[in-house]
Structures are given as structure tokens and as C-alpha cells.
């Protein structure tokens, strides 16, 4: 038996060396500490995995249920997630989000702050081997986390990775950032701040941050701690947090702003965390114009984040395992209409509400 430095004990998600399966690994840096392992030990290469699909929910009367598919095009032949990887996916978390598109004044005749994702929609989830939720269950009954209101007022959507990811020193973690609304002449330039939180090889907290003014088409954000192109020491990422500078609307206007930023993750090592076309919504801003009574804190005034009642997080006690060639099918059901109208347009112009379905988990090489 080979004794190891306890500091190098296996941490799920750490990078254990080059991946030879052609899954996108770039293999430029090898950390000697974490590649040392006992003879015969299984090399369980565990990396983060995530998926985001945006679907548009039409009205209950015309189409009460919607399948969540990768293309959003109503292609009924497509599952919500098909594991075409050569790895086992463990799903630790489902998130359901609704963020207001720009200029929402009204959702089905109500202020956006009445928009309650948890009670308006139900979900059904089917695994290849078993039903997770056979029929439709209201999203509120899927909640396993109490979404808190005031404690997160000034923070934004955070990703807690189910497995830590080793970002080797000098290898830059990159993200692509885009904004739905960046070029508006009404809003001041926003600034999106991102923090990679974790620890170094000695379990000392280590955080690197960057900020960027995202464009509509995407801005690359590189976490270059120094000119060497990456963090100065190994960073085991456990959380990725976002924040957006406060934005105030023009005084006197009647808008409720919904500002949507989206990101993609480009880790320096290992397989991709998500499909190339997936964008993850973060740091939606809601603000309320002067035509409404001043919203309370709980209503999300100047909230850098989703209005709290529009996110439901479901974490199963143990992860759902999706082996290669298995799939998940997810459908959403309207219990209440989710259409909305836009300020300044005819009330008869009814739009649909985008809802994100996000899964966060791990991917593990077959041993």
C-alpha cells in the first residue's frame, strides 16, 4: 500500500491527469501533486457537468404542456437530455428559473412580481429506467431548498459545483458572457462580476475574480491572475458566484426591467462541462419603475438576481445516475397562464415566458 500525502487525498473533481478519450481535453498542464495516486487505485476522473435548456411556455389554453427539448423547436423526437458522452452523469440538482424578458410590465394582467413560477407550472421528469415524477407535480412541491429572500438581495445566481474542479496554476479559466440588453440606450453600462471560489492545494481559501461589461454577442472573460495566463497557484473551484452592479431605470418611466445575462464555462482542463450551445442564465436584474408602489425588499427591489419566487431548486437526496445512452425526458405544464404583455404595445400582443431548466451534476469516466 502506498501512503500518500494527506493533502493529495482524492478530492472528487480534481484533475488527475490527461484524459485520453478525445473528449476535448487540451492537456497542457499536469499537476504533480494530484496525479500521484496509489498503484491499483481507480482513476475516477470526476468533473462538473451541467445543462441548460430554455423553453418558451405558451398559454395554458393553447398548449398546456411543453416538452423540454434541446432545440426548443418542439422536436418531439428529442429527449431533454441524452447521454451521448462516454461518461456516467450524476445529476445532483435541478433548477427551474423564469426571468423576465426586457420591458415586462405585466404577466397575465398582473405585475411581474405576482409571477410565481412555483405555482404556475408543474413538471414531469422521466429517466430511462424509472419515473422521477410520473405525472405533473407543481414546482413548489419539488423544492428542496428554501429560497431565501433578503439574504441574497445583493448577490446573484451562484453555481455550487457538486464536485470541485482543479484549475491548475497558470491555466486560465475562461467564460463567455453575453447580455440580452447590453446596448440599450436607456440603461447605463452594467458590469458583471464573477468570482471563482475555492481553495488551494493546502485547503486555504482562494478566490479569483474578474469583471466585464458583457456585450450582446458575447465577451470572453479570462481569469488571468497574473500575466502567466491563469491563477498563480492551483485553484480547486467549489463555487462560481456572480454579481451585477445596480442599475436604475430612467426616472418617470413605467418599466419593470428584466435584464438577462448568460454565461458559458470554458475550463482549461478536462472535458467540457456542458454542450457547446448551452448558455446559463445568471444575474438577471429586476427593477421597478415609478408607476408602481415602491416594492418591498422581499419583492426584489434592485435585486441583482432573479426575483426569488421565480427559482425552484430540487436536490435529490442522492444523485440520479444517467449512464451512456440513457436519457431524461422533462415536460412542463401550465397551471396558470404565463403570457405577458409589453409596455407601449397593444395589450393584445401576448408573448410567451421563457423558462430555464438547468441540471447540475458531475461526469465521471467509465473505469
Partner 1 sequence: MTEYNYLPTIKRATLESVGYRRQAPVRALLDLGGNARTFLTDVSFFAMGVGNREGTNPLVRIGKWGQGLLTEAFYPLSLFNTKPRQEFGVWNFAKPYRLFPGERLSALVEYAEVGRGSPVTRDRTVPAVMFNAVRVVDKRPVLLYDNLDHRGVLGEGVRLAAEKLQCPADSPVDIYSVVAQPTTNVGGSVGDNYALEQLMIYGPDGRQWWDQKSWPCLFDPTGFIMDLNRPEWVLKPGESFFCEFLTDAASTDMTIVVRGQVEVSK
What are 281's strand-pairing partners?
262
Task: Tell me which residue of 243, 179, 249, 187 sits closest to 214, measured CA to CA.
Answer: 179
92-131 burial, b at 16+ Cβ within 10 Å, e below that, comes to bbbbbbbbbbbbbbbbbeebbbebbbbebbbbbbbbeeee
Of 32 and 130, which has the nearer Cβ to partner 1?
130
CB-wise, 29 or 133, nearer to partner 1?
133
* Contact with partner 1 (CB under 8 A) among 12, 193, 289, 319: 319
| Site for partner 1 contains 296 (CB under 8 A) | yes
Of 223-282, binders to partner 1 (CB under 8 A) are none
Please give the residues from 113 up to 172 whose contact with partner 1 meets the rule CB under 8 A.
113-114, 116, 118-119, 122, 130, 132-138, 140-151
Nearer to partner 1, 1 or 294 (CB): 294
Q: Is residue 61 at the binding interface for partner 1, with CB under 8 A as the rule?
A: no
Name the H helices within the chain: 32-35, 117-120
Which is nearer to partner 1, 108 or 245 (by Cβ)? 108
CB of 144 to partner 1, least distance (A): 6
Residues 33 and 45: beta-carbon distance below 8 Å: no
CB of 361 to partner 1, least distance (A): 12
**String of b and e for 166-175 (b: at least 16 CB within 10 Å)?**
bbbbbbbbbb
Q: Which of 158, 195, 298, 342 lies at the binding interface for partner 1 (CB under 8 A)? A: 298
8 A C-beta contact, residue 219 and residue 300: no
Diameter of the chain by CA atoms? 75
Binding of partner 1 at residue 294 (CB under 8 A)?
A: no
Residue number with CB closer to partner 1 (93 or 234): 93
CA atoms within 13 A on the CB side of 122: 14
Binding of residue 336 to partner 1 (CB under 8 A): yes
Smallest distance from partner 1 to CB 297, Å: 9
Q: Which residues contact 146 (CB under 8 A, 6 or more apart)?
A: none
The footprint of partner 1 (CB under 8 A) covers 60, 110-111, 113-114, 116, 118-119, 122, 130, 132-138, 140-151, 295-296, 298-300, 307-309, 312, 316-321, 335-337
Amino acid at each position: 500500500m502506498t501512503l500518500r500525502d494527506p493533502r493529495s487525498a482524492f478530492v472528487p473533481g480534481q484533475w488527475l491527469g490527461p484524459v485520453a478519450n478525445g473528449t476535448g481535453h487540451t492537456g497542457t498542464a499536469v499537476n504533480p501533486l494530484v496525479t500521484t495516486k496509489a498503484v491499483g487505485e481507480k482513476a475516477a476522473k470526476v468533473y462538473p457537468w451541467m445543462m441548460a435548456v430554455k423553453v418558451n411556455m405558451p398559454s395554458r389554453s393553447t398548449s398546456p404542456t411543453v416538452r423540454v427539448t434541446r432545440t426548443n423547436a418542439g422536436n418531439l423526437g428529442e429527449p431533454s437530455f441524452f447521454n451521448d458522452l462516454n461518461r456516467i452523469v450524476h445529476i445532483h440538482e435541478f433548477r427551474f428559473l423564469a426571468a423576465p424578458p426586457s420591458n415586462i410590465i405585466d404577466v397575465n394582467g398582473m405585475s411581474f412580481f405576482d409571477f410565481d413560477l412555483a405555482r404556475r407550472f408543474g413538471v414531469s421528469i422521466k429517466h430511462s429506467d424509472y419515473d422521477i415524477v410520473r405525472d405533473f407535480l407543481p414546482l413548489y412541491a419539488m423544492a428542496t431548498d428554501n429560497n431565501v429572500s433578503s439574504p441574497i438581495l445583493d448577490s446573484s445566481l451562484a453555481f455550487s459545483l457538486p464536485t470541485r474542479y482543479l484549475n491548475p496554476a497558470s491555466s486560465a479559466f475562461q467564460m463567455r458572457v453575453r447580455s440580452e440588453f447590453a446596448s440599450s440606450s436607456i440603461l447605463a453600462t452594467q458590469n458583471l462580476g464573477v468570482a471563482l471560489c475555492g481553495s488551494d492545494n493546502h485547503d486555504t481559501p482562494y478566490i479569483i475574480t474578474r469583471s466585464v461589461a458583457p456585450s450582446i454577442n458575447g465577451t470572453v472573460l479570462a481569469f488571468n491572475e497574473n500575466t502567466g495566463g491563469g491563477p498563480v497557484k492551483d485553484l480547486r473551484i467549489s463555487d462560481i458566484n456572480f454579481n451585477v452592479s445596480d442599475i436604475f431605470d430612467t426616472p418617470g418611466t413605467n418599466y419593470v426591467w428584466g435584464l438577462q445575462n448568460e454565461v458559458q464555462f470554458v475550463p482549461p482542463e478536462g472535458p467540457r462541462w456542458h454542450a457547446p450551445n448551452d448558455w446559463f442564465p445568471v444575474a438577471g436584474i429586476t427593477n421597478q419603475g415609478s408607476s408602481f408602489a415602491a416594492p418591498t425588499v422581499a419583492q426584489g427591489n434592485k435585486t441583482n438576481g432573479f426575483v426569488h419566487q421565480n427559482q425552484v431548486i430540487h436536490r435529490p437526496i442522492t444523485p440520479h445516475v444517467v449512464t451512456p445512452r440513457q436519457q431524461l425526458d422533462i415536460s412542463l405544464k401550465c397551471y396558470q397562464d404565463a403570457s405577458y404583455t409589453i409596455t407601449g404595445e397593444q395589450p393584445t400582443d401576448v408573448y410567451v415566458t421563457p423558462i430555464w431548466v438547468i441540471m447540475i451534476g458531475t461526469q465521471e469516466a467509465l473505469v
